[in-house]
Amino acid sequence: MSETLSKYLPEHSVKPVFELIVANQVHLKIVNERVTRHGDYRMGMSGKHEITVNANLNKYRFLITLVHEIAHLAAFEKFGPSIKPHGTEWKLTFQQLMLSFIRPEIFPHSVLSLVANHFRNPTASSDTDARLAFALKQFDERKSDIYFIHEVPSGSMFRIKNGRIFQKNGLRVKRYECLEIKTGKLYLFNANAEVEIIPG
């Protein structure tokens, strides 16, 4: 297991993550990409704790996602099944579990302070923390024709994963207002949304 983990995690996090998996009796599955989620936790039919994490995540995102899901398990075990999935008990558990990983041997300098800041009050998804999400995405394998929405020039057309086409308007507070060409409806996009620019 630790040999497999070393392919997906920062080197100095492999041993403590393996210990967490053993201590919590986790059945870990590394699965193909799911667009809607990075990872998942559930109690399996056999009574085993099952955690799935997407195989395509970069090693820093993989670490945060795996600890996120172990925190669900640990919070349910400690506080009972009636707690809110991303409530106070889960936040405290996630903070405690991540504390030992927020170190310069594990996270690069460009990400470390953003990770530390995020875990003062972790959210249900690190994707909603635009600065952290953008910093983490710098370590993804990016296709040459894929851009972040903040890199798309205003007025340009772009396509999202499901094929829908939009035109980028302006920035509204922290998100970008974009017009869907087919319906004429306005949508807001996070700055780090990945899109394909349609040449003008």
For 18-31, how does the pLDDT look when each residue is reduced to its tens digit (9 = 90+)?
A: 999 999 999 999 99
Q: How many domains would you assign to the chain?
A: 2
Give me the pLDDT at residue 127, please.
76
Please say if the pLDDT value at position 1 is more than 80.
no
Of 100, 120, 137, at which residue does a domain stop? 137
- pLDDT band, residue 142 (cuts 50/70/90): low
**Mean of pLDDT over the chain:** 90
Q: Quick count: other Cβ atoms within 10 Å of Cβ 124?
A: 13
45 plus 103 within the same structural domain: yes
Task: Tell me the C-alpha to C-alpha distance, in Å, between residue 169 and each of 45, 131, 186.
Answer: 48, 21, 9
81 plus 127 within the same structural domain: yes
53 plus 115 within the same structural domain: yes
Give me the pLDDT at residue 44, please.
66
**8 Å CB contact between 184 and 169:** no
Write out pLDDT tens, residues 151-200: 899 999 999 989 999 999 989 888 899 999 999 999 999 887 889 999 87
**8 Å CB contact between 26 and 51:** yes
Write out pLDDT tens, residues 56-93: 999 999 999 999 999 999 998 899 888 998 999 999 99
In this prediction, residues 100-113 reach a mean pLDDT of 95
- Residue span of the structural domain in which 182 resides: 146-198
Burial class (CB in 10 A: 0-12, 13-18, 19+), 83: middle
Task: Tell me the C-alpha to C-alpha distance, in Å, between residue 75 and each of 22, 79, 96, 180.
Answer: 16, 6, 11, 41
Give me the pLDDT at residue 111, please.
94
126 plus 160 within the same structural domain: no
